[in-house]
Every structure is written in structure tokens, then in C-alpha cells.
């Protein structure tokens, strides 16, 4: 497994990050534990979760993923793992049950620490913006958590370029803990949102980039075809998938991914991930797995070396997405 520094920090994280949204949802506890064991054995030291995972499932209330990670951590050396979690979504009833206010953050971090069975979170991230809370209030709360040792580094997710820039400026002016990473939605088939402005900010300011959905919700694995655009899956089709299965250019791009994968004798997913990891701005790509076998199919992507022509062909095939 390959490792990179997280932005301008000294923290080294694996270039594959294990996303754990499936835990307590499409992966039951024994399967979740087995996936984490397999990831750690493969050299993946970076796990990403969020307090709301998976509150959208009937019978769940949020915190299921963190709880399973905490149970698993009880038998592991905490120092071997980099644990990232996120705050923002609704976790309890009432006007302060969601958001990025100091009140919500301070309670939410205590709840996450308890569920995760740890006394610190390596990377604590604002899951998405909160327009109802002053930005300096959010940053001051994060700063207090870093000062207390409960959080080691701070990140954001789903922030546009202008808001990330404002966040960096404000933390500099107020001498608050600096945002060191961002989680954008990014893949071969969802490029423009990140590449248009956000990528340049991250490169200029030394921000670690940890994209989610790098396989376009599974579309880039090749399981969706022109002949079968509704393959069996345990996951409900996302809005992204619904758009892609109706787009002939998306299938044409898949043809290019498939051709390059056959040349390298690797799964198509390896090509999509290798393309992303070859980009200088990218720190680590978040992958999810419902089974140990699925995880095993993705790990080898870090060893794939794409040629300049491979990358050029992939860029041309997906330009405009």
C-alpha cells in the first residue's frame, strides 16, 4: 500500500481510504469486522465514517458505523489507525440537533468519541456547509477541539472553492486551527465540480484531497452495461447512476476504461482509481465495500501504473463530465 501526507500536515495516510458508510447497513457486524481486518492487513490505515451513517435506514438512528468501528477498535492498537469522522447532519431532535454551531459540534464530538471507543479523532470534518451558523463560530469550535486534544486535524466536505478559500482566510486572520483536507465528489464521470476551481485552490494552499464516490457509485466497475443498466445490487440506484445509465457518452467512456483495463490485465475499477491517484492534487480515494471480496478487488489499484497515453485517453473520453 502507498502512503501520502495529508495536505501540509505530517500525517501519513494510505492512498486508499476505507469508507464505512455500509457498516450497519448493507454490511452486517461480522462482515464489517472482516472488511476492517482485511483492510488493515492490506496496509490501509485510513478509515472514514460520519456520525449520521446510517440514519436513513429504517430502524437506524445514526452512529451505527461509528459504533461498529469502536467495537472493532477494542481489539486493535489504536495507534495503527487514522480515523476520520464528520459532523453536521441531524443526530437528535430539537433546534440544535444538527448543524455546525458550537453547541452541536461540542455534543456531537463527545457522542462520536464514545461510539468510536477512543479519546481522539484524527480528522474531524464538517460534512457539508451550514448557512445558518457563522463560519467563525464553527472554526472556533474546531479550534477548541484541536487545542483540547480531542481532535488532531480539521477538514471539510462538499465545500465549494469560494467557501474553502474563505475558511482558510478566516482561520489565518483569527489564528484558528487550519482546515487541512477536503472531501469532494470526484470521479472520471464527475470531474467538472472539482477541477473547475476547487482543485487549483487545494494545490495552491496545500489542502489534502480525499474524494468520495471515485467509482461513480459503481458505474466505473463495469457492472452497468448498455444491455443491462439495472444489475442486481443491494443499493438503491443513486441520482448519479440514474443519469449515467441514460447517457451514451458514459458508456463510451466505459469502453475506454475497459480497453485500458484489458491492456493492463486488471479490473476496470483499478483503472478508474489509478487515474485518480495519478493526479497530483489527490491524497487518498475513499472506497466502500459490502464484502471482503469486493475490497480485495479494489486494493490492487495502487500498483497500476498508467501511461501518459492511458491518462490522455481517459481525460478525452470524460471531458465535460
Q: What pLDDT, in 10s, does the model give residues 143-152?
A: 999 999 999 9
Q: Is the pLDDT of residue 236 over 60?
A: no
Q: Considering only CA atoms, which of 248, 252, 277, 274 is closest in space to residue 263?
A: 274
| Residue at 318 is within a domain | no
Quote the domain boundaries for residue 174: 3-218+270-304
Q: What pLDDT, in 10s, does the model give residues 205-232?
A: 999 999 999 999 999 999 999 998 887 5
Q: What pLDDT, in 10s, does the model give residues 164-203?
A: 999 999 999 999 999 999 999 999 999 999 999 999 999 9
Task: Give the per-residue pLDDT at 231.
Answer: 79
> How much is the average pLDDT of 290-298?
95
Strands (E), 190-265: 208-209
β-pairing, 179-183 with 151-157?
parallel
Q: Is the Cα dihedral 52, 58, 61, 65 positive or negative?
A: negative
DSSP 187: B
Task: Give the per-residue pLDDT at 232.
Answer: 57
Task: Give the per-residue pLDDT at 240.
Answer: 85
Q: Is the pLDDT of residue 40 over 90?
A: yes
Q: Please give the Cα distance from 219 to 113 (Å, whole number).
A: 34
| Residue at 256 is within a domain | no
Grid cell 457509485 in the structure block, residue: 217
| Residue at 150 is within a domain | yes
| Residue at 244 is within a domain | no
β-pairing, 179-183 with 208-209?
parallel
> How much is the average pLDDT of 47-51?
98
Q: Read off the CATH number of the domain in which 190 is found.
A: 3.20.20.100
Binned at pLDDT 50, 70 and 90, residue 120 comes out as: very high
| Residue at 234 is within a domain | no
Q: Please give the Cα distance from 82 to 13 (Å, whole number).
A: 7
**Tally of domains within the chain:** 1
> How much is the average pLDDT of 273-281?
98
| Residue at 207 is within a domain | yes
Catalytic residue among 53, 124, 153, 212: 53
Q: Is the pLDDT of residue 238 over 90?
A: no
Q: What pLDDT, in 10s, does the model give residues 66-108?
A: 999 999 999 999 999 999 999 999 999 999 999 999 999 999 9
| Residue at 231 is within a domain | no
Grid cell 429504517 in the structure block, residue: 58
53 is a catalytic site residue? yes
Strands (E), the chain: 3-5, 12-14, 16-19, 46-48, 82-87, 121-126, 151-157, 179-183, 208-209, 285-288
| Residue at 249 is within a domain | no
When the pLDDT of each residue in the chain is averaged and rounded to a whole number, the result is 96
* Cross-strand bridge partners of residue 181: 155, 208
Amino acid at each position: 500500500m502507498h502512503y501520502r501526507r495529508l495536505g501540509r500536515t505530517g500525517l501519513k495516510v494510505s492512498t486508499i481510504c476505507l469508507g464505512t458508510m455500509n457498516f450497519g447497513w448493507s454490511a452486517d457486524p461480522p462482515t464489517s469486522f472482516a472488511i476492517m481486518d482485511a483492510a488493515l492487513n492490506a496496509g490501509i490505515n485510513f478509515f472514514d465514517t460520519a456520525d449520521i451513517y446510517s440514519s436513513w435506514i429504517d430502524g437506524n438512528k445514526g452512529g451505527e458505523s461509528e459504533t461498529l468501528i469502536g467495537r472493532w477498535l477494542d481489539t486493535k492498537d489504536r495507534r495503527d489507525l487514522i480515523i476520520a469522522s464528520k459532523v453536521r447532519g441531524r443526530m437528535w431532535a430539537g433546534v440544535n440537533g444538527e448543524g455546525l454551531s458550537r453547541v452541536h459540534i461540542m455534543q456531537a464530538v463527545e457522542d462520536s468519541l464514545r461510539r468510536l471507543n477512543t479519546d481522539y479523532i484524527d480528522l474531524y470534518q464538517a460534512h457539508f456547509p451550514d448557512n445558518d451558523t457563522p463560519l467563525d463560530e464553527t472554526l472556533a469550535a474546531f479550534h477548541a477541539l484541536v487545542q483540547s486534544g480531542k481532535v488532531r486535524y480539521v477538514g471539510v466536505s462538499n465545500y465549494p472553492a469560494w467557501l474553502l478559500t474563505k475558511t482558510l482566510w478566516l482561520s489565518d486572520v483569527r489564528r484558528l486551527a487550519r482546515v487541512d483536507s477536503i472531501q469532494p465528489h470526484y470521479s472520471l464521470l464527475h470531474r467538472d465540480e472539482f477541477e473547475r476551481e476547487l482543485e487549483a485552490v487545494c494545490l495552491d494552499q496545500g489542502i489534502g484531497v480525499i474524494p468520495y464516490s471515485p467509482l461513480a457509485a459503481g458505474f466505473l466497475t463495469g457492472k452497468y452495461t448498455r444491455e443491462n443498466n439495472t444489475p442486481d445490487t443491494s443499493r438503491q440506484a443513486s441520482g448519479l447512476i440514474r443519469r449515467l445509465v441514460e447517457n451514451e457518452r458514459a458508456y463510451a467512456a466505459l469502453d475506454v476504461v475497459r480497453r485500458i483495463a484489458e491492456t493492463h490485465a486488471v479490473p476496470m475499477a483499478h483503472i478508474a482509481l489509478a487515474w485518480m491517484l495519478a493526479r497530483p492534487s489527490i491524497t487518498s480515494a475513499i472506497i466502500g465495500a459490502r464484502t471482503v471480496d469486493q475490497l480485495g478487488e479494489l486494493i490492487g489499484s495502487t500498483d497500476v501504473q498508467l501511461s501518459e497515453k492511458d491518462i490522455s485517453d481517459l481525460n478525452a473520453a470524460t471531458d465535460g463530465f
